[in-house]
Amino acid sequence: MFHRIRRRAKEPSEAQRNFAELHAQLQGQIPPGFGVPATPEPEPVEPAVVDDFLPPELRVPSHDQVDGRMMPWAQPLVLGGEMVACAECGAYRDWLILSTRGEIWLRCQAGHQQLETRIDTAWYNRHSGPADATFATFEDCLRHLGH
């Protein structure tokens, strides 16, 4: 069995009375700027162009701007379980590996060059480090690498 308990109604608190008064005062008032067409925003100003590129002497050419890349390979080169040797002199170490126009060439210390079809550009890119220099001619690059 439940009994209903009657409580006498409480009078509103002072905060509730203040809110009711403020609410009554604001009835019918329109906030400033309401219903007034918005002023058009000013035209965006183009930001000043800042040349944030490196100075020309520090820029490195992109892959499409060079004829090829080369890296030294001092140790013997083993491909498919077989050690690669120069077809002319039999050298098997101190190679220069050249990547140019989608082909890979090997150059021995004696200056003999041979196309290597078992290596592709992806292999070259995985095994080469960042370029440390750029040269205008093939011969300048050979001198730099000691060939």
Least confident of 16-20, 61-65, 94-98, 139-143: 61-65
Cβ atoms of residues 132 and 144 within 8 Å: no
Q: Is the pLDDT of residue 96 over 80?
A: yes
pLDDT at residue 79 in the model: 93
Q: Is the pLDDT of residue 117 over 80?
A: yes
d(CA 136, CA 145): 14
Of 52 and 115, the structure prediction assigns the larger pLDDT to 115
In this structure, how many other beta carbons lie within 10 angstroms of the beta carbon of residue 70? 23
Taking only Cα atoms into account, the Rg of the chain, rounded to an integer number of angstroms, comes to 40
Q: How many angstroms separate the Cα of 82 from the Cα of each of 94, 106, 107, 140? A: 16, 15, 17, 32
Cβ atoms of residues 96 and 84 within 8 Å: no
pLDDT at residue 85 in the model: 96
pLDDT at residue 130 in the model: 80
pLDDT at residue 93 in the model: 93
Stretch 31-49: mean pLDDT: 73
Of 33 and 97, the structure prediction assigns the larger pLDDT to 97
Torsion angle in degrees (nearest 10) through CA of 17, 21, 24, 26: -130
In this structure, how many other beta carbons lie within 10 angstroms of the beta carbon of residue 108? 22
d(CA 6, CA 121): 90
Q: Is 51 helix (H, G, I), strand (E, B) or coil?
A: coil
Q: Is the pLDDT of residue 40 over 50?
A: yes
Mean pLDDT, the chain, rounded, equals: 83
Amino acid, single-letter form, for residue 83 = M
